Amino acid sequence: MGRGRVQLRRIENNISRQVTFSKRRSGLLKKAHEISVLCDVEVALIVFSNKGKLFEYSSDSSMERILERYEQKLYAERQLTPSNSESQGNLSLECSKLTSTVEALQRNLRQFQGEELDSLNLRDLQLLEQQIGNSLKRIRTKKNKLMHESISLLQKRERKLQDQNNMLAKKLKEKEQTSTEHELQNLASSSSVQPPATIHFPSLTIRGRNKEAQLNLNLVPTL
Query: For 162-186, how does the pLDDT look when each residue is reduced to its tens digit (9 = 90+)?
Result: 999 999 999 898 888 888 888 887 7
Angstrom distance (rounded) from CA 6 to CA 193: 139
Angstrom distance (rounded) from CA 218 to CA 29: 142
Confidence at 191, pLDDT banded by 50, 70, 90: low
Angstrom distance (rounded) from CA 65 to CA 104: 11
Confidence at 202, pLDDT banded by 50, 70, 90: low
Burial per residue of 166-193, b for 16 or more beta-carbon CB atoms within 10 angstroms, e otherwise: eeeeeeeeeeeeeeeeeeeeeeeeeeee
SS3 53: coil
pLDDT tens for each residue of 26-84 = 999 899 989 989 998 889 998 988 888 888 888 877 788 888 888 888 888 777 665 54
Q: How many CA within 13 A on the CB side of residue 111?
A: 21
Angstrom distance (rounded) from CA 217 to CA 204: 8
Confidence at 124, pLDDT banded by 50, 70, 90: confident
